[in-house]
């Protein structure tokens, strides 16, 4: 039932709050869950005035006093999910905890808070990918700008392990580790209601970005595909994702994502000539004339994830010099 655009009741006692983003992907879905004695927030948006305005409207429409926020749960540490957590926490005099997995909290500290050597590692990583230096400089700049939209950082963080139970209102959710898009992403699954808060792991209309970045553990694509196959078996009648529309055909959408990556792996394998750099392969997969500097980073990361997957399967070799060069195994 619509309450107040851009807020709607997505499931009983769960309101989706659509926070605008300054990208082609122009909305992040956040959630307000009616809780015992207050409210739980899931995901937050980037810290920009536009986001704060929508949260204020949501609180107003649902008559929520900031002091009644019990906790702020983050599915993962990407800036569109993490960015406003510290600001929201400060709206309440009680400093409600920001809750996320230990892996994501480590990544958030490394990427948004300490940033020790981060730009150098990104520069080195993109050099290995064969990206020209003007595009590397632009990518580093995008990363710095993104960091500014994640402050202030949470003052109080509680970590939540995969496989934990978390009670929100009358529902009990189990946390499920769903790596691939982000190493430590947690989904929240309420088996009794067949309800999944699916973060950016399963999305309609777009495929979650699976990328290898400067600090990514090996084989995120393998982890993502394995995780999808596990999640497909769960009974899910409604999934509430981090972007785009809610998901009512859980297994069907997962099948489409699995098929997409099969096709993408075939396309990447077909694009690898002798001694191809990640940049060269990515130019055959993505139309660079249409990509912003923000999106070029994703194109490189996604191409590399597929290349490393093919290498692990023995279909490609990689010359590990200053610049990675891939070749088909004949």
Per CB under 5 A, residues contacting Zn ion are 80, 200, 242
At residue 79, φ and ψ (nearest 5 deg) are: -60, -30
Are 191 and 235 in contact, with CB atoms under 8 Å apart? yes
Report residue 26 as tokens.
């122009």
**Closer to Zn ion at the Cβ: 170 or 245?**
245
How is 248-307 classified by DSSP, letter by letter? S-HHHHHHHHHHHHHHHHHHHHHH--TTB-HHHHHHHHS-GGG--HHHHHHHHHHHHHHH
Cα separation, 173 vs 7, whole angstroms: 22
Is 67 in a helix, a strand, or coil? helix
Q: How far is the CB of 294 from Zn ion (least distance, A)?
A: 13
**Closer to Zn ion at the Cβ: 240 or 310?**
240
Q: How far is the CB of 129 from Zn ion (least distance, A)?
A: 23
Tell me the C-alpha to C-alpha distance, in Å, between residue 186 and each of 73, 91, 143, 176. 10, 25, 23, 5
Are 19 and 149 in contact, with CB atoms under 8 Å apart? no
Q: Is the preceding omega at residue 128 within 30 degrees of 0, hence cis?
A: no
Q: How far is the CB of 240 from Zn ion (least distance, A)?
A: 13
Q: How far is the CB of 262 from Zn ion (least distance, A)?
A: 24
Is 163 in a helix, a strand, or coil? coil
Q: How far is the CB of 81 from Zn ion (least distance, A)?
A: 6
Q: How far is the CB of 76 from Zn ion (least distance, A)?
A: 8
**Closer to Zn ion at the Cβ: 38 or 242?**
242
Contacts of the segment 234-237: beta carbons below 8 A, 24+ positions apart: 234/189, 234/191, 234/196, 235/191, 235/194, 236/189, 236/194, 236/195, 236/196, 237/193, 237/194, 237/195
Closest by alpha carbon to 74, among 185, 152, 169?
A: 185
Q: Which residues are registered as beta bridge partners of 104?
A: none
**Closer to Zn ion at the Cβ: 32 or 268?**
32
Q: How far is the CB of 83 from Zn ion (least distance, A)?
A: 10
**Closer to Zn ion at the Cβ: 28 or 136?**
28
**Closer to Zn ion at the Cβ: 38 or 184?**
184
Q: How far is the CB of 6 from Zn ion (least distance, A)?
A: 16
**Closer to Zn ion at the Cβ: 86 or 242?**
242
DSSP label at residue 314: T
**Closer to Zn ion at the Cβ: 193 or 200?**
200
């Amino acid at each position: 039932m619509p309450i107040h655009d851009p807020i709607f009741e997505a499931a009983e006692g769960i309101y989706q709050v659509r926070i605008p983003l300054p990208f082609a992907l122009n909305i992040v879905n956040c959630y307000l869950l009616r809780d015992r004695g207050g409210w739980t927030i899931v995901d937050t948006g980037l810290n920009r005035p536009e986001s704060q305005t929508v949260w204020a409207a949501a609180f107003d429409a649902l008559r929520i006093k900031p002091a009644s926020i019990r906790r702020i749960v983050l599915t993962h540490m990407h800036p569109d999910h993490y960015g406003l957590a510290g600001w929201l926490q400060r709206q309440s005099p009680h400093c409600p905890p920001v809750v996320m997995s230990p892996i994501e909290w480590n990544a958030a500290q490394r990427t948004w808070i300490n940033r020790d050597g981060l730009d150098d590692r990104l520069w080195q990583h993109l050099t290995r990918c064969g990206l020209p230096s003007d595009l590397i400089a632009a990518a580093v700049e995008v990363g710095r700008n993104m960091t500014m939209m994640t402050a202030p950082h949470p003052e109080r963080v509680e970590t939540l392990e995969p496989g934990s139970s978390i009670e929100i209102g009358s529902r009990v959710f189990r946390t499920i580790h769903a790596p691939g898009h982000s190493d430590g992403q947690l989904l929240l699954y309420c088996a009794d209601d067949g309800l999944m808060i699916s973060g950016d792991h399963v999305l309609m209309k777009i495929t979650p970005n699976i990328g290898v970045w400067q600090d990514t553990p090996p084989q995120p694509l393998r982890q993502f595909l394995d995780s999808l196959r596990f999640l497909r078996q769960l009974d899910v009648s409604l999934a509430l994702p981090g972007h785009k529309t809610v998901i009512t055909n859980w297994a069907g959408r997962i099948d489409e994502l699995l098929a997409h990556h099969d096709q993408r792996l075939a396309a990447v394998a077909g694009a690898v000539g002798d001694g191809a750099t990640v940049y060269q392969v990515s130019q055959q997969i993505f139309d660079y004339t249409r990509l912003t500097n923000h999106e070029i980073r994703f194109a490189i990361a996604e191409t590399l994830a597929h290349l490393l997957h093919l290498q692990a399967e023995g279909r490609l070799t990689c010359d590990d010099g200053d610049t990675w060069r891939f070749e088909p195994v004949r």
